[in-house]
Structure 1
């Protein structure tokens, strides 16, 4: 039996100790996992999702878990050395949940919060015009300090330069003509604005009727025939509820599109949920009458509704008519987890499961594709930049229509 010299024994013990210490170092957290992109294969009818996360300290690799269930039952596990992962071959129009943890040899870090997203349902070829749509509740009346906040709100508009703006609570919003925007229609604090270099308002195909007057609760009835107008949605929360709409014609292609601006009643109780459902039923029914030629329709606004609410029945009305949230149709996502209702909080409101945005854009996948969805808040070093323009952040969507 051979005996090692004392110095050699000491060296081997030191080396073994270093390796053990290194293998035992637990990696840090990966932080917030975000969905950043989605895909759809027309040849296979399957979908894809991409997630990314922060690089964790002491991480040599990452374990990524994906499941069809929030409980993470029957989750599939993948290993990667990158801080991103793309999944392919997923069911279309289905919800998936993802968790990630870092690994360092035999040591593993804590799992991230579970995050969810729905895959793209359909993606037709899109050779038509591309429009940027912004929906923005600026709270110009009910929220204080509008004179201070308005320049910041206009700066958000200028930063994204949308082609169409669906503004809510916007009576006091002053958009100078020099900015390149004009108003197509307004009613009860909803204002639908468009970029004059991009659109004109369609000429009425029938004479515009006289104002139809008021109904029994003192609310104006729906304006029935024109290429701009409003729809009376009901008397809810002690107020007359409306949506506005306009047919805008692309200056370059001559193609018309119907854009709708809506603000449904607020509240998370069952009564308010039922009222929102009724409002959207009324709105979509009138739009079918208003749009007999079947032009593409883009609905945008503050819908006071999101997936985390069990009584989100309003979404079911849209789904039955073939409309889906641009958030679930987008090829690219930016700030998925930032709630579009910010409450004037300097620290952004984060929702891990769905994002909780209450401001939406809805389209039919058969009529267009969503190239990008973004929360348009101004954030620096993880904080909302003051003055915060509104208690809502703008949602900005790039849509390319099928023609």
Structure 2
């Protein structure tokens, strides 16, 4: 008689999975012995053939770990061997509940799963498996893995980013195939880019962005049916700027009819003047002595000849020779791609005894296209000579009064020009002082008789500021052993950041000018940031 009461499975006590499996094993042994006895009795009694057991075998525990190494369309799954296991079954599915899983079997501890979908998350599990009965033991804990991106024969585009404005980013990339089209995506996180934008050419501009924010851009090539030809490029980051620089300058180019003995003509100097200006890529430039009279033998004035030489995108704010807001020889030239002209005009400055020609303040308000900020720009050429000191002071006072009226005291203002006065002049540099008293700042701090100090200077970077702004056509550039040279030409600003100042001199190692000296003045240029 069999007695099962000694087993915990029947005693009401709790049993773990290993204990239950051990109990089942013992029961199976006892049942086998019972069946053997019954088979013997059936033979002795002639009842019939021996009874046979028809139960599934007990399989070992599942492997304790499961690892995956994946590519775009396949995964290699591996696990440690289990004692007593004759084989293993593996299931994988895109759902963690395995509702429609695919099962594979193997006698090894590694298996290759192929035919997977790129960039897709899969779940997998493994169990001991009996090849004879196809029985499967308990499943291991499931793991997840994500297949890699689709592999292509062509490498993805190489992307570079630039910020043409503070609220936009332009992406440019290499061409991968002759007839390829492209898709581009942008976002604030490299792993969470927005919807793809389709473009034909290898460039795209994203507008309406936040300032001082890092964005990521990724691009891939596609064919005419929008099927991918390459993988997505690695996301490239770029932070949109708070503001973009504005390059401003002043240049007395010497008038067409002012040629003195031994000096080169405008025709001989023009290309040097043009290359000097283009080399500095100013957004806005005040020029002086740009004659409005027609040049001999040509139906064109010097200032128009200069603008024509500069070419697009440069233009002059007023093309009139006289009247209608023109300022005779003082002109404002600007880059039409960088700036939008809003309004322009001129004011006749005071004249008096000793004055030789009429002098003007020419002005213009612009919108910086990259930032949308509006500013006021002024340019002048004051009377020259020792006998007109008081006249220059009167001219400056009218200039500051006019600028204040136009700007309403609110617009950032940049005032440039040939002031025909310097820090060594007897009795003080009164026009300079008047500009400062009116609230204008000299980035160089080139105060009266300053040498080894620059009171109030705030320019961040200096290039050749110890060279003077005039040269007298001397081959040896005028360089002083001080922080600042002697300046007749100035760039005054209201409160704003000035990142750089350059006194433009093209010289060799010995300090001598190279090639044609463009003018008897050197161009001065500053890089500013509008507030």
Work out the CA distance in 2 between the residues paired with 1:160 and 1:346. 21
Work out the CA distance in 1 between the residues paired with 2:395 and 2:481. 29
Work out the CA distance in 2 between the residues paired with 1:246 and 1:304. 22
Q: Aligned ranges for residues 260-299 of structure 1 at < 5 Å?
A: 260-267=378-385, 269=386, 271-292=387-408, 294-299=410-415
TM-score, reference length from structure 2: 0.45
Q: Which residue of 1 aligns with 2:173?
A: none
How far residue 127 of structure 1 moved from its aligned partner, in angstroms, is 4.4
Other structure's SS at 2:444 match: helix
CA contact (8 A) 1:241 1:265 kept: yes
CA contact (8 A) 2:272 2:516 kept: yes
TM-score, reference length from structure 1: 0.59
How far residue 129 of structure 1 moved from its aligned partner, in angstroms, is 3.6
Work out the CA distance in 2 between the residues paired with 1:252 and 1:335. 29
Instruction: Please provide the CA RMSD for this pair.
Output: 1.8
- Of residues 341, 346, 357, the one that matches 2:487 is 357
Q: Which residue of 2 aligns with 1:187?
A: 327
- Of residues 387, 390, 394, the one that matches 2:523 is 394
Work out the CA distance in 2 between the residues paired with 1:401 and 1:308. 32
| CA offsets 1:236-286 (integer angstroms, 9 cap, x no match) | 41321111000011123222110001111112x2x4221111111011111
Q: Highest Rg: 1 or 2?
A: 2
Unpaired runs of at least 5, structure 1: 1-125, 203-226
Work out the CA distance in 2 between the residues paired with 1:401 and 1:182. 22
Other structure's SS at 1:326 match: coil
Work out the CA distance in 2 between the residues paired with 1:288 and 1:396. 23
Other structure's SS at 1:370 match: strand
| CA offsets 1:305-360 (integer angstroms, 9 cap, x no match) | 22222421111111112212122231111112211110000001123344102111
Q: Which residue of 2 aligns with 1:311?
A: 428
- Of residues 274, 286, 302, the one that matches 1:154 is 274
Unpaired runs of at least 5, structure 2: 1-240, 292-301, 319-325, 446-457
CA contact (8 A) 1:169 1:189 kept: yes
CA contact (8 A) 2:244 2:370 kept: no
Moved over 4 A (4+): none
State whether structure 2 residue 251 is matched by structure 1 residue 136. Answer: yes
CA contact (8 A) 1:187 1:243 kept: yes
Q: Aligned ranges for residues 341-356 of structure 1 at < 5 Å?
A: 341-353=470-482, 354-356=484-486
The structure in which a higher percent of residues are strand is 1
CA contact (8 A) 2:359 2:380 kept: no
CA contact (8 A) 1:168 1:302 kept: yes
Q: Which residue of 1 aligns with 2:307?
A: 175
